[in-house]
Amino acid sequence: MAVAKSNLAIAAFTGLTMLVSVLGFAFLQGSPQANRPEEKLPDSYIINYTLTQSQRQTLANRGKTLIDLVYDPQNCTNCGFIKASLEGIAHQFSDQILLSEIEVSRSDYVDLPRVFMASQINAWSKKGAGITAAELEQAFCSVVLYPPLGCAIKPQPGNNTNRSQ
């Protein structure tokens, strides 16, 4: 009988400890996020400034893709093409993308232009004037959270789509 009472006391103590631990963990994890307001995002899907880290996190939490283009408009021959390609993608998928176009001086950065794409699932970056439209489209398809149908049906580079009989 004494053994049964001690087992009951140990079981009750263990159960109470587990309950208090779960409640304490829930309280500590739930409070900061519930009180913190979500960061305001820009109204436009194309901007000309850098987002804060908090805005980047809010963008990712909302399932959107961030594209950063850093370029020197005075000293880059291919930047107009890259900018136009990214703006075309951003316009077509404005509900999924935020494009940040940052003009800088070459003295600030060595390798320009720089393109960075990021979402909840992937990130991609490339620098230098040799960026092609095909690379930008392929990168977009690899990082966007909800890829459009066009990403699924486009032939991938290196795959031979011409089958000889």
In a domain, 3, yes or no: yes
Q: Please enumerate in sequence order all residues whose Cβ is within 8 A of that of 148, keeping only pairs 6 or more positions apart, or say none.
A: 93
Enter the pTM of the model. 0.70
Same domain? For 16 and 89 the reply is: no
Question: Is 41 domain-assigned?
Answer: no
92 found inside a domain: yes
Same domain, yes or no: 147 and 106: yes
> Is residue 55 assigned to a domain?
yes
| CA distances from residue 93 to 35, 40, 50, 137 in whole angstroms, order as listed | 32, 20, 20, 12
Note whether 79 and 4 are same-domain residues. Answer: no
Residues 140 and 65 grouped into a single domain: yes
Residue 162 lies in a domain: no
Joined tokens for residue 48: 């000309």
Q: How many domains does the structure of the chain reveal?
A: 2
* Separation between Cα atoms, residue 118 and residue 104, nearest integer Å: 21
In eight-state DSSP terms, residue 105 is -
52 and 32 inside one domain: no
Q: Are residues 105 and 140 in the same domain?
A: yes
The predicted-structure confidence for 136-145, as pLDDT tens digits, reads as follows 999 999 999 9
At 67, is the secondary structure helix, strand, or coil?
A: strand
Cβ neighbourhood burial of 122 (10 Å; 0-12, 13-18, 19+): middle
Q: Mark whether 149 and 125 lie in a shared domain.
A: yes
> Peptide bond before 148: cis, by omega within 30 degrees of 0?
no
C-alpha–C-alpha distance, residues 123 and 37, integer Å = 26
Residues 3 and 83 both lie in one domain: no
Domain identity same for 146 and 88: yes
Q: What H or E segment, with its residue span, contains residue 100?
A: strand 97-103
Domain that holds residue 30: 1-36
- Residue 109 binned pLDDT confidence (cut-offs 50, 70, 90): low
**Does one domain contain both 30 and 63?**
no
For residue range 2-53, what is the model confidence (pLDDT) as tens digits?
Answer: 777 778 888 888 888 887 888 777 777 665 555 567 788 899 999 999 999 9
